[in-house]
Structure 1
Amino acid sequence: MPREKAGWIREFDYLRGFAILAIVTIHVMAYSNTITVPSLIPVVSDFLSHLADFGVPVFFFVSGFVLSLRYFDVQGMRTFYHRRLSSILIPYIAFSSLYIVYNLYTIPGYTVERALWSLLLFDATGIFWFIAVLLQFYFLFPLLTRWQHSSERRGGSWEMLAVSIALYIIWYLFLVTPLAQGLDTLAQPVAGFGGLVAARLFPGYLAFFVLGIWAQRTPATWDAWIARTGSLTVIPLILLLVVALQFLRLGPIWALLVLPFTILMLGPLYRASRWLMRRQGALARSTRAIGTYSYGIYLAHMLAIAVVVNRLWALGIFADQAIFYLILLPGTIMLSMAALFLLNLLPFGERLSGVRVKARPSRGGASTEPREERV
């Protein structure tokens, strides 16, 4: 994997671009559920949505890899916590405030009390569960590095990954539903309280984060895996898994299949990233820019979708028309990036947007190419 002096894997700019495109695709395609007449659009949309199921898992993988690359051997974690928590929490609070204001005006019965719970439960918009889980990984990271250090000394670098996969399976088959039901019997300050909390706990996602740590610590093994799965021969298996995910839709078995699906998808995604890196054309620059702004896009895109959808409706373009999706997807990305760019021009704008860019050194010296500073 090509690395630059700052300790950055260049493929990750593109991987995060693919990940956020997948996430936005899922939320854009959800509008096909409103179609009530016979149409191929829901079928195609559903397939594309499940093809994009790798989105958030890839973000967790990249986070685990990059944190391991930069901080695995760091003794004092004070700077780590200060930088990581501030880079996550300040944008979260800023964008949660925007969503809460939007909810107060658009959702009947949405009260100030519910808004406070939304902030505490990472639920001002449903996608913020990702931030709750990421924060847990940041707190767990020093413990995970000690565990990995210990297992490597014993010659079992795979140990933590194996345990996290076992926990993933046990969590979805036996724990998550009873836990949600149990929490609901204890307290229900908001509707679906148990489900909200259970969906935001780290055991259901730890395997992806630990996979990133393991990949960084065993580069030869990981590169060999990427070489095997990056070939076109895995595409039929990936498509078969997509059909299975489409059939299952949600639930514990669906969640179990997301893990092997994501591991297989990383090969083609790496291959596509390297292909873009070699060409450096408009498509490569666009994908890399989207990757640079990926965290900010994640925060902003649900509001951007609402703005674009309302404009499309005003123009008489609705979800039962293919053009609706062809405009909504790129329109959401462009509007999100434009809003983030303008926000960054304000004092302290980069702290609020979650997108901090700085010059990245190249192999031969200084470069003015931006990259996102946070993981």
Structure 2
Amino acid sequence: MVAVVWIRELDYLRGFSALAVIAVHVSMSATRTPAADLLCLLNVFVYIIAHFAVPVFIFISGWVLALRYAGAYSVPAYYRRRARTILPPYLFFTGFFLLVSVEGAVHLAGVPDPGTAAGALLMGTAAYHLWFFVLIIQLYLLYPLIVGGYDAFDRAGAALYLLLALLFGQVLWNVGAHVFGAFAGAEWYPVLIRLFPSHLFYFVLGIHAARHTDRLRSALRSFSPAWVLAAAVSGALLLGGIWVAAVLRYGSFSGATLAVFCVYRILEPLYYVPVIAVLILAAGRLEAAGGRLSGAARSFGEHSFGIYLIHPLIIAACAAVWASLTGLSWADWATYPVLFAATAALSYGIVRVAAPLPCTGRLLGSRRSGGT
């Protein structure tokens, strides 16, 4: 492993993604309501457009690994470090969320049977956010093969052709996951969407960014920031608008047809790629500006791993406190911005205090302890 020159913009990208994850998991409560009113439609829109979070985290992971493991490196040492990084928090929080449920409200779920525990570990179902670990563990395991394949294409001057092929293959995989789930059984979709081909393009795009960082920055500077932002906003309006129309047409989020899901999967990269570009540009602006806002944004990103792990517990706890103090529920407008802000602030504060402690540091970590 060679010495790493850290790309400071990555910390900002992590912070942006962590905020988007919180937005997804706060707004998703409105997607479960039967009434397709304005509050529901607005939250469906936020829920859809904030889904760039996981693709950006995957992109960052590819970039980070390609920075740390370039040239000659020890594959066994790589696997040992990845295992120390990802397995302790995944195992601990899987066990924690099996015992303490955060679906709807915080409550003790009881001791699970061995079959339930094994299924939760394999599928990341102990809580709604842990599926990401199933995906990232696969990409960690396959990284030496993936980066070797990428480098072979890159040396041949065909890296962009590889990216286009992976993009096409990823779209086919994700559309196929919906189709297969519709006809072979709904239980197949969560399995297929957790397998690495569902996000492989974003991972290799991150590797490409690490290998060609200067070229990437030059290319982004050659575009007008306004046009890049317009492309991302157009993608957001397109994807969000599709789902708002689907909810209006079918009465609920879950009532949408297979065609809606498939069209969404086809179009989503047209939104996520411009969003990645916008976030890189925003990170560069923050880094150049400096000051308190820049420092706060970087600190939030540095602690995003721990924030990701604990935020569902904070959402459920804050929702319970909010309801008891105000009598307001998920059917009220004020609930969503208050819970978003409270979850972001409390999650960051708890992780900031707990991460340096010996007993919690390995679990909650900072930017240098994980690829996410």
Q: TM-score normalized by structure 2? A: 0.84
Alignment of 1:263-302 (within 5 A): 263-302=273-312
Distance apart, 1:329 and its partner CA: 0.9
SS in 1 for 2:285: helix
Q: Distance in 2 between matches of 1:75 and 1:6?
A: 13
Distance apart, 1:119 and its partner CA: 2.1
The question of 1:122 aligning with 2:124 is answered yes
The question of 1:318 aligning with 2:317 is answered no
In structure 1, what is the equivalent of residue 232 of structure 2? 238
In structure 2, what is the equivalent of residue 85 of structure 1? 83
- Aligned identity (percent) is 28
Distance apart, 1:25 and its partner CA: 0.5
In structure 1, what is the equivalent of residue 145 of structure 2? 143
Match of 1:25 among 23, 29, 54: 23
Distance apart, 1:221 and its partner CA: 3.9
The question of 1:374 aligning with 2:367 is answered no
The question of 1:194 aligning with 2:164 is answered no
- C-alpha contact 1:230 1:270 (8 A) present in aligned 2: no
Q: Closer, same or farther in 2 for the Cα pair 1:346/1:236, shift >3 Å?
A: closer
Gaps of 5+ in 2: 244-259
Distance apart, 1:111 and its partner CA: 4.4
Distance apart, 1:204 and its partner CA: 0.8
Distance apart, 1:87 and its partner CA: 0.7
Q: Distance in 2 between matches of 1:37 and 1:248?
A: 18
Q: Distance in 1 between matches of 2:217 and 2:122?
A: 40
- C-alpha contact 2:177 2:192 (8 A) present in aligned 1: no
The residue type equivalent to 1:98 in the other structure is: F
- C-alpha contact 1:229 1:264 (8 A) present in aligned 2: no
In structure 2, what is the equivalent of residue 362 of structure 1? none
Gaps of 5+ in 1: 185-191, 357-370
- C-alpha contact 1:181 1:194 (8 A) present in aligned 2: no
Q: Distance in 2 between matches of 1:181 and 1:82?
A: 41
Q: TM-score normalized by structure 1? A: 0.84
Deviates more, 1:46-55 or 1:219-228: 219-228
Match of 2:73 among 72, 75, 96: 75
Alignment of 1:1-375 (within 5 A): 6-33=4-31, 39-103=37-101, 106=107, 111-112=112-113, 113-174=115-176, 177-178=179-180, 182=184, 193-228=187-222, 231-249=225-243, 251-315=261-325, 316-344=327-355, 346-353=357-364, 355-356=365-366, 371-375=367-371
CA RMSD across the alignment: 2.6
The residue type equivalent to 1:334 in the other structure is: A
Deviations 1:148-170 (A, max 9, x none): 22223322222432331121122
Deviations 1:175-203 (A, max 9, x none): 55327865x5xxxxxxx542221121011
SS in 1 for 2:130: helix
Distance apart, 1:32 and its partner CA: 2.7
Q: Distance in 2 between matches of 1:100 and 1:157?
A: 43
